[in-house]
């Protein structure tokens, strides 16, 4: 696969690794890399891989740099729903993409395509930066006796800056930042300015977890046996939920939409939503 424009293809992936010999736990490294310039738009180390973590990465890239033409990912369940492998009774292709994961729903609403790697080998371009980052981070963590994830993040930030702004890429022969800036200056970019789709007025309605419920006879809906009154909506009407967790407060803001209008905003403890299937 060869790309000719910045923003033509964003390679997005995660890596599970033990980053420091002084920390027993393994952490996930999530990255988003521009295929043309090899510029790393996003990189973060997290304790637990979730759909919300990947949506946060989307928000960082799309609101800061614009909307790319497409994202390139593997067949991880975070990115693609796959029914059980083919049997003699069921054709696999007929059972693929019948349900769209939360991450993919965000991109669909933004009109950004999603392309899937056909094999692990096809993900080679992003695996090389992973190995480069992994080697440098592990060596630095060992040398400096790093003991916390916060310290790992500091080292990651330093190494990403070094990779983006100082390291000549072995394939392109250019520093990623310079190659990216040159492409933009020459009009060789497929990034579109980020714009909220109608009728939404907040990024919270796009970069969120989605669900829907039907109001009962008392104009309420239920989430995990917790009832919410939805004003202005008649009984037995569909309500769309847009949920935005806040890790710092431990609260999730639920935005209730009906017929293209925001009818209510309420907050709930995030732990109360555990196990909810949307």
Residue extents of the structural domains in the chain = 10-185, 203-273
Q: Check: CB of residue 221 under 8 Å from CB of residue 214.
A: yes
**pTM: predicted TM-score of the whole model, two decimal places:** 0.87
Range 238-266 average pLDDT: 95
Question: Which residues make Cβ contacts (< 8 Å) with residue 106, sequence separation at least 6?
Answer: 55, 58, 206, 207, 208
Q: Are strands 220-223 and 226-229 parallel, antiparallel or unpaired?
A: antiparallel
DSSP category for residue 249: T
- pLDDT at residue 225 is higher than 90: no
Report phi then psi at 253, rounded to 5. Answer: -85, 125
For residue 271, what are its two tokens?
A: 């732990």
Q: Check: CB of residue 35 under 8 Å from CB of residue 72.
A: yes
Can you tell me whether residue 14 is helix, strand or coil? strand
Report the pLDDT value the prediction gives residue 92, as an integer from 0 to 100: 36
Report the pLDDT value the prediction gives residue 122, as an integer from 0 to 100: 56
User: Architecture of domain 10-185 in CATH?
Assistant: 2-Layer Sandwich (3.30)
Distance CA 183, CA 178 (A): 9
For residue 221, what are its two tokens?
A: 């809906």
Instruction: Residue 128: count other Cβ atoms within 10 Å of its Cβ.
Output: 15
Question: What are the tens digits of pLDDT across the range 76-107?
Answer: 777 766 554 433 333 333 333 447 899 999 99
Q: How confident is the model at residue 255 (pLDDT cuts 50, 70, 90)?
A: very high
Q: How confident is the model at residue 57 (pLDDT cuts 50, 70, 90)?
A: very high
* Mean per-residue pLDDT over the chain, rounded: 88
Report phi then psi at 265, rounded to 5. Answer: -135, 125
């Amino acid at each position: 696969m060869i790309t000719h424009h910045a923003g033509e293809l964003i390679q997005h992936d995660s890596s599970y690794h033990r980053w420091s010999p002084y920390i027993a736990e393994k952490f996930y490294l999530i990255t988003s890399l521009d295929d043309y310039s090899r510029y790393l738009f996003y990189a973060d180390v997290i304790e637990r891989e979730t759909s919300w973590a990947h949506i946060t990465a989307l928000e960082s890239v799309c609101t800061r740099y614009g909307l790319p033409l497409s994202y390139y990912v593997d067949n991880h369940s975070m990115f693609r729903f796959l029914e059980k492998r083919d049997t003699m009774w069921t054709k696999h292709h007929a059972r693929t993409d019948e349900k769209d994961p939360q991450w993919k729903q965000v991109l669909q609403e933004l009109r950004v395509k999603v392309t899937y790697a056909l094999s692990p080998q096809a993900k080679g371009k992003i695996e090389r930066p992973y190995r480069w980052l992994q080697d440098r981070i592990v060596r630095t963590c060992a040398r400096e006796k790093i003991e916390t994830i916060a310290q790992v993040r500091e080292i990651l930030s330093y190494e990403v800056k070094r990779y983006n702004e100082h390291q000549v890429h072995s394939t392109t022969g250019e520093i990623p930042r310079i190659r990216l800036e040159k492409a933009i200056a020459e009009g060789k970019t497929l990034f579109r300015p980020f714009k909220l789709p109608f009728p939404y007025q907040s990024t919270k309605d796009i970069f969120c977890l989605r669900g829907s419920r039907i109001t009962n006879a008392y104009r309420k809906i239920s989430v995990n046996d917790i009832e919410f009154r939805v004003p202005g909506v008649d009984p037995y009407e569909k309500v769309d939920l847009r949920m935005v967790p806040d890790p710092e407060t431990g609260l999730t803001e639920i935005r209730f939409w009906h017929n293209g209008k925001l009818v209510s905003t309420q907050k709930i403890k995030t732990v109360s939503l555990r196990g909810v299937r949307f």
